[in-house]
């Protein structure tokens, strides 16, 4: 055991500006969805650099995915194809709407959804494809969108890990899918504590998602009480949800978004330092983004190579003994009782995901780490494997 303080797997990086903005919000009298949530949506659209894009702030990525799938009309009898190597939120939203999930394996090089397997999984019931940009590395969206076009399918991107990921120099969120959803959960590349952003160029989809975000109301509270002609009147046009982002959360988002470019520089620095330091170890290092593109480095995921002398559990225990938190992304969906039993899934159906799972460790990589923290992780990993 070490005498050093525990280094957690993830920590948020919140500065004085975020704190001051939250205090300002608390003092402003408007603490639920209001002017700051609106400003955050505008700032996010500016960040994406596309005036045609509509940004809809929500209280989680899970909510955003649910709204996007609801807005494309997903329902009972439909199927959505997604990766088994993801967090359950990606798939559970499909079940919220009574549709079914068709899980497919990953490409072992990228750990992203296997593009060829998507095409093989399409049935007459398939309505949409739901790719996940795993760890912050873009899915080959050009190939995926081509499949979707040829088969008349909708595409909703789970970009919980993918801010600011690029593909062919275009930011994820600006490609040609129906909608993209980002997460601002506490451990993400920027955070609002809990939060998310649904992004789309489809005006109808945006309109539906805005209404369903707040109870299916024709006008939200901010709109009603601040419009030129204030009005208490609203109409319910559908049984909507309670998915709005508060101004307290948006206050964090406004400043986190400003800091995102600097965060990205630091994440890349740490990833490069890890890559150099681990090059000679029995590890499969994370895949790199193609030349000229950005990997968001939400996660730094290594896989133990065949010649490693310890297994994943021993590795994680060794890191813990050195006072360092690690994680595993993910226990694949096909292994969880709910998904396994509902669809009669076995590990043999997902050999690449299963193999990755058995060897995968996510190491701490976040901007609140000091250089000394980074070196400490390196020393601990080398101590276990060198």
Could you give the residue numbers annotated as active site? Answer: 188
Nearest to ligand PLP of 44, 87 (CB atom): 87
Determine if 83 is a binding residue for ligand PLP (CB under 6 A): no
Nearer to ligand PLP by C-beta: 30 or 40? 40
Minimum distance between the CB of residue 212 and ligand PLP, rounded to whole angstroms? 16
We find the least distance from the C-beta atom of residue 196 to ligand PLP, in angstroms, to be 5
How many CB atoms lie under 10 A from the CB of residue 209? 26
The contact mask relative to ligand PLP for 85-104 (x = CB under 6 A, - = no) is -xx-xx--------------
Rounded to 5°, angle at Cα 293 from 68 and 9? 70
Binding residue (CB under 6 A) for ligand PLP from 7, 81, 118, 132: 132
Token code pair at residue 6: 């525990």
The single-letter DSSP state of residue 32 is S
In the chain, how many H helices and how many E strands?
A: 13, 12
For residue 378, the minimal CB distance to ligand PLP (Å) is 25
8 Å CB contact between 312 and 358: yes
296 is a contact residue toward ligand PLP (CB under 6 A):
no
Nearest to 181 by CA among 128, 142, 219, 220: 128
Smallest gap from Cβ 60 to ligand PLP, in A, equals 3
Tell me the two tokens of residue 171: 């930011």
Task: Report the site for ligand PLP in 141-160 (rule: CB under 6 A).
Answer: 158, 160
Instruction: Classify the phi-psi angles of 204: left when phi > 0, otherwise alpha if psi is within -120 to 50, otherwise beta.
Output: alpha
Asked if 118 touches ligand PLP (CB under 6 A), the answer is no
Query: Closest CB to ligand PLP among 67 and 345?
Result: 67
Q: Does 384 bind ligand PLP (CB under 6 A)?
A: no
Please say which residue, 60 or 381, places its beta carbon nearer to ligand PLP. 60
Alpha carbon distance 152, 30 (integer Å): 44
For 212-347, list the strands marked E by DSSP. 283-284, 300-304
Residue 249 CA to residue 34 CA, distance in Å, equals 11
Q: Between 66 and 376, name the residue whose CB sits nearer to ligand PLP.
A: 66
Nearer to ligand PLP, 183 or 385 (CB): 183
| Cα end-to-end span (Å), the chain | 19
Give dist(CA 338, CA 329) in Å, integer.
Answer: 18
Q: How far is the CB of 58 from ligand PLP (least distance, A)?
A: 9
Taking CB under 6 A as the rule, does residue 179 contact ligand PLP?
no
CA pair distance 357, 330, nearest whole angstrom = 7
Name the E strands within 184-266: 196-200
> Which among 55-63, 201-209, 238-246, 273-281 is the span making contact with ligand PLP, rule CB under 6 A?
55-63
Q: How far is the CB of 114 from ligand PLP (least distance, A)?
A: 17
Q: Is 339 in the site for ligand PLP (CB under 6 A)?
A: no
Residues between 251 and 290 with contacts to ligand PLP, criterion CB under 6 A: none
Whole-angstrom distance, CA of residue 230 vs CA of residue 118: 50
Q: Cβ–Cβ contacts within 10 Å for residue 340, how many?
A: 15
User: Dihedral angle at the C-alpha atoms of 108, 95, 175, 55, nearest 10 degrees?
Assistant: -140
Token duo for residue 280 = 């000679």
Task: Output the smallest distance, CB 86 to ligand PLP, in A.
Answer: 5
- H/E stretch holding 65: helix 61-71
Q: In the complex with ligand PLP, which residue's Cβ is closer, 163 or 281?
A: 163
Is 185 a binder of ligand PLP (CB under 6 A)?
A: yes
Among 196, 253, 286, 364, binds ligand PLP (CB under 6 A): 196
# of chain residues touching ligand PLP (CB under 6 A): 14
> Which position among 62, 110, 165, 367 is part of the footprint of ligand PLP (CB under 6 A)?
62
Q: Which residues bind ligand PLP (CB under 6 A)?
A: 60-62, 86-87, 89-90, 132, 158, 160-161, 183, 185, 196
């Amino acid at each position: 055991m070490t005498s050093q303080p525990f280094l957690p797997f993830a920590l948020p990086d919140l500065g004085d500006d975020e704190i001051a903005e939250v205090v300002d919000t608390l003092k402003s009298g408007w603490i639920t969805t209001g002017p700051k949530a609106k400003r955050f949506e505008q700032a996010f659209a500016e960040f994406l650099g596309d005036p045609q894009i509509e940004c809809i702030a929500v209280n989680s990525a899970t909510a955003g995915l649910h709204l996007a799938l609801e807005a494309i009309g997903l329902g009972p009898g439909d199927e959505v194809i997604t990766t088994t190597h993801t967090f359950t939120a990606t798939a559970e939203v499909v079940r919220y709407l009574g549709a079914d999930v068709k899980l497919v394996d990953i490409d072992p090089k990228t750990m992203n959804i296997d593009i060829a397997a998507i095409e093989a999984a399409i049935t007459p019931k398939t309505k949409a494809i739901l790719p996940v940009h795993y760890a912050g590395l873009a899915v080959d969206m050009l190939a995926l969108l081509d499949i979707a076009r040829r088969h008349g399918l909708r595409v909703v991107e789970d970009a919980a890990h993918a801010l600011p990921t690029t593909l062919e120099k275009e930011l994820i969120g600006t490609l040609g899918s129906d909608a993209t959803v980002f997460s601002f959960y506490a451990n993400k590349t920027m955070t609002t504590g809990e939060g998310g952003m649904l992004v789309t160029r489809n005006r109808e989809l945006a309109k539906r998602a805005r209404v369903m975000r707040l109870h299916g109301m024709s006008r939200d509270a901010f709109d009603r009480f601040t419009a030129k002609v204030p009005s208490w009147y609203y109409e319910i046009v559908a049984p909507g949800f309670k998915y709005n982002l508060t101004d307290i959360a948006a206050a964090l988002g406004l400043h986190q978004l400003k800091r995102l470019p600097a965060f990205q520089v630091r994440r890349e620095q740490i990833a490069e330092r890890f890559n150099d330091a681990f090059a000679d170890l029995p590890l499969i290092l994370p895949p790199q983004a193609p030349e000229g593109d950005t990997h968001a480095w939400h996660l730094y995921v290594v896989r133990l190579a065949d010649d490693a002398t310890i297994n994943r559990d021993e590795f994680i225990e060794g890191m813990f003994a050195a006072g360092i938190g690690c994680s595993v992304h993910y226990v694949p969906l096909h292994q969880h009782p709910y998904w396994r039993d509902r669809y009669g899934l076995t590990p043999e159906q997902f050999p690449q995901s299963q193999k990755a799972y058995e060897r995968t460790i996510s190491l701490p990589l976040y901007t609140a780490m000091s250089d000394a923290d980074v070196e400490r992780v390196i020393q601990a990993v080398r101590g276990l494997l060198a």
